[in-house]
Amino acid sequence: MIYLDHAATTPVPRAVADAMIEVLTEQYGNPSSQYPLGAEMKKRVEGWRCAVAAALDCPAERLYFTSCGTEGDNWALRAAAWQNRHAGKHIVTTAVEHSAVLETCKQLEREGCEVTYLAPDRDGTITAAQVLEAVRPDTAAVSLMLVNNELGTVYPVAEAARGLPARNPHTLLHTDAVQGLTTFSARALGADFVSVSAHKIGGPKGCGALYIGPRVKNPRPLLAGGGQERGLRAGTEATAQIAGFARAAELRLERLEEDRAHLEALRAYAREKLLSIPDMVPVGAGTAPHILSVSLAGWPSQNMVNDLGSQGICISAGSACHQGKPSHVVAALGLPKRVAAGVIRLSFGPETTFEEIDACAQALRRHRDTRMPML
């Protein structure tokens, strides 16, 4: 199998699975238990928190484990809206956020908030000036993703954070950094909330974390109960998942420079190979090294995904085709119909090889040469 969909999820390295198995079978204590098995587990959870915090470059005591990136996105937006509920009910976000942010915004709209959805240009670009101009005296929160999961575009979160206090000192800034984990420093970004997820960096599914910065006063607990996660997210800690997240983060940090160079080389190689296929065009001005978005203009992306899938090659339609309609991200770019219909996403991991890119490019070329385009 050739797996070119690392933005969807990543394989779990053996060392990560081993760390999880040890916790499941030997270190199975509940961190809240008072005897040594529990106390030991509590200590280890704090050690794992430090390991994941190192991957975000944030203080460990400001990091809260969650069940996924989606949970972090939901929690951050609601916590920001709650803190500023007396100052205003306006939220600024973009039309290209993950549905974890967009659906939470829609819920908040039903609860009385007003949301401004910023449109990108044709390249998927959104500027910090655009974000800041949309901020008003009643803006409770801004949610601006760090790396777009379909296009690989990197958004100017740090610049928005620097400009925000002059526009409105109360507005809290959230960034969904799920696709950027290990490429940023939360300290340098300056966002008040940063959400991440384990399964995008070789960790298990069902585990994430939310950084909550010092401007968030008495954050509203997400789950009430036994007081875990310093009283903000109750529920017995998912110790094996957290152990896996920490080990995955350590492994990625150990090889950060090599992996980045490899991904950049892969992406440049894939871009050149794919764009040499007739009718293949670039989509967006993404620069994230693990994501490449292109379109075989005129050939429906779902057919490509199915055709390559039947040959054991996994690529994505960029979450692109929901019952024949382009994804909300592709739709937001306002591309011509034939280009929008053919958008595919390849995404790479440290394990991806150049030979796999060759095989994928060959299969796409064959698809182009043997399948009928849309009318």
Among 13, 44, 52, 176, binds ligand PLP (CB under 6 A): 176
Tell me how far, at minimum, the Cβ of 319 lies from ligand PLP, in Å.
Answer: 8
Nearer to ligand PLP, 178 or 304 (CB): 178
Q: Which stretch binds ligand PLP (CB under 6 A): 64-72, 80-88, 118-126, 305-313?
A: 64-72
C-alpha distances (whole Å) from 167 to each of 81, 138, 142, 163, 171 are 17, 11, 12, 7, 9
Q: Are 103 and 265 in contact (CB under 8 A)?
A: no
Tell me how far, at minimum, the Cβ of 203 lies from ligand PLP, in Å.
Answer: 10
Nearer to ligand PLP, 3 or 299 (CB): 3
Beta bridge partners of 208: 66, 197
Tell me how far, at minimum, the Cβ of 246 lies from ligand PLP, in Å.
Answer: 16
DSSP, collapsed to helix, strand or coil, labels residue 375 as: coil
Q: What is the pairing mode between strands 90-94 and 139-143?
A: parallel
Q: Is 178 in the site for ligand PLP (CB under 6 A)?
A: yes
Whether 50 is a known active-site residue: answer no
Nearer to ligand PLP, 154 or 280 (CB): 154
Q: Is 100 in the site for ligand PLP (CB under 6 A)?
A: yes
Nearer to ligand PLP, 84 or 179 (CB): 179
Tokens representing 70 are 């989606």
Set 58, 105, 113, 321: catalytic member: 321
Q: Is 317 in the site for ligand PLP (CB under 6 A)?
A: no
Nearer to ligand PLP, 73 or 88 (CB): 73
DSSP, collapsed to helix, strand or coil, labels residue 344 as: strand
x/- site string to ligand PLP, residues 115 to 154, per CB under 6 A?
------------------------------x---x-----
Tokens representing 343 are 């958008």
Whole-number Å distance between alpha carbons of 84 and 331: 32
Cα angle: 90, vertex 95, 100; to 5 degrees:
80
Interacting residues with ligand PLP between 206 and 245 (CB under 6 A): 208
Alpha helices for 146-278 (secondary structure H): 157-167, 186-189, 239-254, 256-275
Burial of 200-225, coded b for 16+ CB within 10 Å and e otherwise, reads bbbbbbbbbbbbbbebbeebebbeee
Question: Considering only CA atoms, which of 245, 230, 208 is closest in space to residue 74?
Answer: 208
Q: What is the pairing mode between strands 139-143 and 172-176?
A: parallel
Q: Is 191 in the site for ligand PLP (CB under 6 A)?
A: no
Residues with catalytic roles: 321
Give the footprint of ligand PLP on this chain (CB under 6 A).
68-70, 73, 98, 100, 145, 149, 176, 178-179, 197, 199, 208
